[in-house]
A and B are shown apart, each in its own frame.
Chain A
Amino acid sequence: MSSIKYDDYLLKDKLPLFWCGGCGNGNVLGSILRAFANLKFKRQKTVVVTGIGCWGKADDYINTNTFHGTHGRALAFATGIKLANPDLNVIALMGDGDGATIGGNHLIHAARRNVDITAVLVNNFNYGMTGGQYSGTTPEHSFTSTSRYGHIEEGFDLCKLAAAAGAPFVARGTVYGITQLDKLVEQALCKKGFSFVEVITPCPTHFGRLNGLKTASLMLNWIKENSVTKNQAEKMSDGEIRGKFVTGVFVDVDKEDYSTRYKKLQQRAAEAVEGGCDK
């Protein structure tokens, strides 16, 4: 039997990728497809749900079932898909604008509900698709096409957000550390319950250009220079950690996922055990 490879999931006739040279999206796509291959995902049983944005076009290159909906709503579509058929592997791919800004509410509630979905959120600190405007993760003081005087808002720490919302698996990787990213994505896909992986990614075309990092190598260096592992971070002060990308697994706990709980609810309903004090 020949082994399964990442490109068994790749739509090769759709290449070359539409993304800019130096964009990190292709690297993240690679990690995801390698994880599919390692885990021998069946195309028939897999649905990739994407949002709208540069990263939201990732489904154009994937040959599993796909669903490409609206900006910010990937997790809501994915929730319906997963609850309707819990046997499916459901993966949601979102940008930082998509999944954490316009769609932030769906992120916290999908995490809280613990729907068995893997969310891979590519954070390039801006809205790549629409010309590099600021998003909910744009760092304070940085420049974007709509923060030309320096951004005055603080950016979200998405891993803290997902953890606080109750996600049983939360991790952050970067495009610079692909080996680690491969592992994180695979771990997330194996997790029963809501798993969240944030990937720090370069957008040299917009974020890079306005922040003195206009080549791919400058951006990757910037990511490398500012990345610290979870263990290193634990020894750093709040001031030292500001602006750094802490990588690693932050949460990995076992929790009954939504569909398992719902099955039990269905059993109670079938036995006609309605709760409430009016009974």
Chain B
Amino acid sequence: MTVKGNVRFIQGNEAMAEGALAAGARFFAGYPITPSSEIAEVSSRRLPKLGGVYVQMEDEIGSIAAVIGASVAGKKSFTATSGPGFSLMQENLGVAVMAEVPCVIINVQRSGPSTGLATKPAQGDVMQCRWGTHGDHGIIVLSPSSVQDCYDLTIKAFSLAEEYRTPVILLADEIVGHMREKVVFQELQTDEIKVRKAPGCSPEYYKPFRLGEGVTPLACYGGEHVFRVSGSTHDEWGFACSRPGNAEKYIRHYTEKIENNRDRIVLTREYNLSDAEYTIVTFGCTTRSALEAMYIARSTGKRVGVLELVTLWPFAEESVMEACQNARAVIVPEMNLGQVLREVQRVVGRNIPVVGVNKVDSKAIRPAEILDKIREVETCLV
């Protein structure tokens, strides 16, 4: 991205709303919920000025439905919510997967399950993002660790949604959402904003679910191409189709269009990994403590490095393997009971110890807690 831009000091939630507008989003449907409500409020003020639409639906089921409908009608669309609302969205998230409708869902995580602690942070929705809607599928999930990320990754989320015709989840958390930091609204270059391409073929040949040539362009209602969209298992034209072979083809397609493009989708950040004896694998707000722990450790001569998973799903298997294979041990701090930990263990295998720093008391993980864990592992390894 070009560095020219407008510098602001704002909240993460506000930055996500601004990122969406910068990406060209012109439709928001949502239902207010702490700690995400500022995204709705900013959108309600800003969208109408830009000719866009903000609508507050009767619940989150309706919100994501309206977002999906608006996207098929040609508007880049998004919603924002937190745990209870995200749970309500799961069924229709599957419609976006099945009907291959681009849209962005922001989940500013709070402590659950159920109503939980409405105002407190957590990172407990990692697996819900991956598997929350029923049935096999692929999904793209990005996780911001700074207010700048909130802006940049929201823009990225819209691009990925259009490119892969898929819902993209921006998995933030209460800390990042409510944190205030400097953010630069970069001037975007045109290729950074994906514009939906109209199908090239003439209307009578348009198959909205054509397989075999990557991702088929999605037309918009109201244009020349008349088409069918369906959440039922369908054929290339969108007609319900119950042939077993057909279901198999599409379920594999939904998974593979994302998993097979891991190298193009996955974003990670590496800090001091080249000589690291201890690798911390982290994401979201916890990244901040992980980096601080790394700096403190380095200042005492301990070779600690950090791998930040900016993309949580598809899982950064190659980067994790590379970052961990020469480490004496791997530490995975997260504000849940080990959702990313188990993924890292799966990738790294049994030869290297992979241990978690897991906290669900609704307080951020402190650098000292990560350092304590490194020390503990160190003593066990001697």
Query: How close is B205's CB to chain A, nearest CB, in angstroms?
Result: 15
* Bound CA span A45–B74, Å: 13
Measured between beta carbons, the chain A residues less than 8 angstroms from B91 are: 70
**In the complex, which of the residues B49, B59, B66 contacts A83, with contact meaning CB atoms closer than 8 Å?**
B66
**In the complex, which of the residues A66, A80, A272 contacts B67, with contact meaning CB atoms closer than 8 Å?**
A80
A240 within 8 A of B: no
**In the complex, which of the residues B62, B63, B68, B228 contacts A65, with contact meaning CB atoms closer than 8 Å?**
B228
B75 within 8 A of A: yes
Query: How close is A98's CB to chain B, nearest CB, in angstroms?
Result: 13
User: Which of B72, B73, B95, B239 gathers most chain A CB within 10 Å?
Assistant: B73
Indicate if the CB atoms of B73 and A85 lie closer than 8 Å.
Answer: yes
**Given A63-B226, A83-B70, A84-B73, also A76-B62 (CB < 8 A):** yes
B238 within 8 A of A: yes
* Bound CA span A77–B227, Å: 16
A68 within 8 A of B: yes
Query: How close is B227's CB to chain A, nearest CB, in angstroms?
Result: 6
B268 within 8 A of A: no
Chain A: interface size category: 35 or more
Measured between beta carbons, the chain A residues less than 8 angstroms from B62 are: 73, 76, 79, 105-106, 109
Indicate if the CB atoms of B53 and A262 lie closer than 8 Å.
Answer: yes
Measured between beta carbons, the chain A residues less than 8 angstroms from B59 are: 105
Indicate if the CB atoms of B65 and A76 lie closer than 8 Å.
Answer: yes
Measured between beta carbons, the chain B residues less than 8 angstroms from A87 are: 222
**In the complex, which of the residues B49, B51, B66 contacts A77, with contact meaning CB atoms closer than 8 Å?**
B66
Indicate if the CB atoms of B48 and A88 lie closer than 8 Å.
Answer: no
Indicate if the CB atoms of B29 and A65 lie closer than 8 Å.
Answer: no
B58 within 8 A of A: yes
Interface window among B16-24, B182-190, B229-237: B229-237
**In the complex, which of the residues B71, B92, B227 contacts A70, with contact meaning CB atoms closer than 8 Å?**
B92
Binary A-proximity of B128-168 (CB < 8 A = 1, otherwise 0) = 00000000000000000000000000000000000000000
**In the complex, which of the residues A59, A105, A266, A268 contacts B228, with contact meaning CB atoms closer than 8 Å?**
A59
* Bound CA span A78–B58, Å: 14
B27 within 8 A of A: yes
B365 within 8 A of A: no
Kindly count the residue-residue contacts between A and B in the assembled complex, taking CB atoms under 8 Å apart: 132
**Given A68-B232, A109-B62, A265-B48, also A79-B57 (CB < 8 A):** yes
Indicate if the CB atoms of B69 and A76 lie closer than 8 Å.
Answer: yes
Indicate if the CB atoms of B55 and A84 lie closer than 8 Å.
Answer: no
Interface residues of B in 234-254 (CB under 8 A from A): 238-240
A44 within 8 A of B: yes
Indicate if the CB atoms of A66 and B238 lie closer than 8 Å.
Answer: yes
* Bound CA span A68–B230, Å: 5
Q: Nearest chain-A residue to B61 (Cβ)?
A: A73
User: Which of A78, A79, A84 gathers most chain B CB within 10 Å?
Assistant: A84
A69 within 8 A of B: yes
Indicate if the CB atoms of A70 and B55 lie closer than 8 Å.
Answer: no
Indicate if the CB atoms of A266 and B69 lie closer than 8 Å.
Answer: no
**In the complex, which of the residues B49, B55, B58, B70 contacts A106, with contact meaning CB atoms closer than 8 Å?**
B58
Measured between beta carbons, the chain B residues less than 8 angstroms from A73 are: 61-62, 65, 92
A47 within 8 A of B: yes
Indicate if the CB atoms of A83 and B53 lie closer than 8 Å.
Answer: yes
B264 within 8 A of A: no
Taking A84-B75, A265-B48 as known contacts, 4 extra A-B pairs with beta carbons closer than 8 A to each other, sorted by chain A number, are A83-B70, A109-B57, A109-B58, A269-B45
A-B contact pairs, 22 of them (CB 8 A): A47-B73, A57-B240, A65-B227, A66-B230, A67-B69, A67-B229, A68-B231, A69-B92, A69-B231, A70-B91, A70-B92, A70-B231, A73-B61, A78-B69, A80-B65, A85-B221, A105-B58, A105-B59, A106-B58, A269-B45, A269-B49, A274-B45
Q: 4 closest pairs, A vs B, by CB?
A: A80-B69, A80-B66, A76-B65, A269-B48
